[in-house]
């Protein structure tokens, strides 16, 4: 698995997709992309082995993370959506 939390230019998208499609990599979690925001037509958005993260410039505390996870669970159990979900129409 590739986890990129550095800079988007460290990853060549076409090479990453080829490695995922060939099975060389099982998954990619991308917090930094190039360009940002990621264009709506980027194949990374829909690739089943890619997780695009929102690239927010903050360092949440454990308490904040636990509260966000609990809020997401409560929302889903109540029939709602995930909170802070990526909005592809907005580009992030």
Question: What positions carry a catalytic annotation?
Answer: 7, 55
Count of Cβ atoms closer than 10 Å to residue 84 Cβ: 11
What contacts 24+ positions apart, CB below 8 Å, involve 37-42?
Answer: 37/90, 37/91, 37/92, 38/91, 38/92, 39/91, 40/88, 40/89, 40/91, 42/13
3-class SS at 38? Answer: coil
């Amino acid at each position: 698995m590739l986890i990129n939390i550095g800079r988007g230019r460290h990853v060549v998208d076409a090479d990453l997709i080829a490695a995922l499609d060939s099975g060389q990599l099982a998954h990619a979690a991308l917090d930094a992309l190039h360009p940002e925001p990621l264009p709506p037509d980027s194949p990374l958005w829909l690739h089943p082995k890619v997780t695009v993260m929102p690239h927010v410039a903050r360092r949440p505390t454990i308490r904040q993370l636990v509260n966000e996870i609990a809020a997401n669970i409560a929302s889903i159990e109540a029939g709602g959506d995930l909170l802070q979900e990526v909005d592809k129409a907005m580009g992030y």
